[in-house]
Structure formats: structure tokens, C-alpha cells
Structure 1
Amino acid sequence: MKVLTRDFGEVEVNNEDIIKFESKIFGFDEYSDFIILYDDDFNGEYAWLQSVEEPGLCFIIANSALIPDYKPVFETEAEKVLGKGQFEYWLMMVVSENIQDSTVNLKSPIIINLCNNKAMQLILEDEYPVKYYLFKSGKEKK
């Protein structure tokens, strides 16, 4: 199927590439179907979470592996919504005009069950910041 995207124009995707949000992205309750788009220049560190339903709705996400100390515990809660499986999790990113000031949300990761392509955004009970400066040279971390 063809999907019109905000940043990549029209792309061809297979139905099995669509990620279905069982628990919606906060503030975007009317959208449930997304695809992840990659740019080879970023080596899987960053990606685009593109709505299939709305071409203008696209989030930049960061691979959680960029923050080695970030080890949230979410499996039990995620399994209740997404079923058992292998999970990966991504961080919603706010890209600043000065890239060094860009932040990620550690409190509410996007969790994807790779076995069935179901996803959710989860608010963690752990004390993680909503605004974490991704680059050490960015503004002082709060």
C-alpha cells in the first residue's frame, strides 16, 4: 500500500509494517496506525514514527540505546496491553533549532511488540524526566 508521509513523500509499505497502537499516543487518540521510517544516515539511532492515517502527523523518535543508563521496567504492564513477545522501545524526541538542545521523553517511551506489531505509549512509574537533554553539550539537564 502507498502511504503519503510528511518528510519522505509517498512510500510503499506492506500491511505487516504497520504498527497498531493499542494504547494511543497521548494527545493523539484518533490515530492508531503508524509506520517507522529510517534514514540510513542515522544508523538506526533516530527514526520517524509516521501516521498512516494523517500525512502531516509524524514524530521523530530516538533509539533508547543512545542512553546506556536508561533501563525502564515495563514488561509486565506492556504484556497486559500488547501481549507476550519481544519488545523494543523508542523515545519521543523534541528537535530544537540548535540540535544540541534537543530532548527526549524518558518518562513515556513508545513500546512496540515486535512479534505482533502492536504498540503503546506508557507512562512509567519510575522517576524519569519528561525532558532529558540528549546531547551533553545541550542546556543543563533538569
Structure 2
Amino acid sequence: MKLRTKYHGELDINENEIFHFENGIPGFLNEKQFVLLPLEDTPFIILQSVQTPALGFAMIDPFSYFLDYDIELDEQTVEQLELSSEKDVAIYTILTVADPFDNTTANLQAPIVLNYEKKLGKQVILTNTPYQTKHRLFPEKAGVK
């Protein structure tokens, strides 16, 4: 199928690459289908809406930037995403890309959790956690201009 995207132009995708978000994403409740598109030559991935070409979220694997990042999924999320094995799970965090890029932040409080096997996804809002919506990707460059 043809997919118009925010960052990649028009692409051919296979329908079995589409992740289904039963409840959408907070703030985008009607957006229920997304694909993952790597951003070439970067560690970033775009969570691209299938329905809305202009809607794409830049994401990262949080464990690559935040070495002590640790979350536990509640039973409702495990059931909703039909998770049966850790090997089927991928976790990403949405970025707020800033100018300059060194000020970019990651939302560690609301990770995107995907079941690769079943192609199901959900943005999970973590409670009772030290994580916030804005963690600097490059804290060592804070205040550098």
C-alpha cells in the first residue's frame, strides 16, 4: 500500500508492518495505525501515522541514552498488548526535538510499548515513577550555546 509520510515522502509499505493502537495515543485518540520508519543514518525512528501524513513522532530506544531506565508494565498493559514474551516487546520514547538539537528531550514518563509479534502498540503513562516528560538527551551539553 502507498503511504504518504512527514519525513520520508511517499513509500510502499506492507500492511503487516502496521501497528494497531486500540486507544490511539493521548492527544491523538483517532490515530490508531502507525508504522515504524528508521531515520536513515541516525539512531532515531519515526512513528508515522498511516492515516495522517503530517503526523510522525521522532523516537529513540531509551535504553541507549538512559542506561538506568527501568520500567515495569502493569497487568492491564500486558493483557491489552497480548504480551507473552519479553522478546516480542520493544520500548521507545517520543522526543521533543529542539533547536539547537542539543536541547532535545525524551518523554520517559510515557513510553511507546510495542508487541512486534502481534503488531499492537500503546503509549503507557507511568505513575509513581521518577521519570518525567522532559529528560535531556544530551545533559552534558546543558547551557552550551
Say yes or no: TM over 0.5: yes
Cα displacement string for residues 59-108 of structure 1 (whole angstroms, at most 9, x for unaligned residues) = 10111222111011115332121112321110010010111100000000
Report the residue type matching 2:77 in the other structure: A
How many residue pairs get matched? 138
What SS class does the counterpart of residue 108 from structure 1 fall into? coil
Determine the C-alpha separation between the residues in 1 that align with 2:6 and 2:44: 16
Secondary structure of 1:22's partner? Answer: coil
What is the letter of the counterpart of residue 83 of structure 1? E
Name the counterpart of 1:105.
107
**Residue by residue, what CA displacement relative to the aligned partner does 1:26-79 show, whole Å, maximum 9, x if unpaired?**
10001100101013301xx21111100000011101112221110111153321
Counterpart of 1:72 in 2: which secondary structure? Answer: coil
Aligned-pair Cα RMSD in Å: 1.4
Partner of 1:9: 9
Provide the rounded CA distance (Å) in 2 between the counterparts of 1:114 and 1:35: 11
Aligned partners of 1:82 and 1:138: how far apart in 2? 37
Letter in 2 for 1:26: P
- Matching residue's letter, 2:25: I
TM-score (norm 2): 0.89
Q: Under a length normalisation based on structure 1, what TM-score does the superposition of the two structures give?
A: 0.91
**3-state SS of 2:139 partner:** coil
By how many angstroms is 1:24 displaced?
1.9
Which amino acid in structure 2 is aligned with residue 63 of structure 1? D
Mapped partners of 1:77, 1:101: distance in 2: 34
Which residues of structure 2 form unaligned runs of 5+?
A: none
Distance 1:65 1:59 in 2: 18
Structure 1 residue runs of 5 or longer lacking an equivalent are none
Matches of 1:47 and 1:84, distance apart in 2: 22
Higher strand share: 1
Identity of matched residues, %: 28
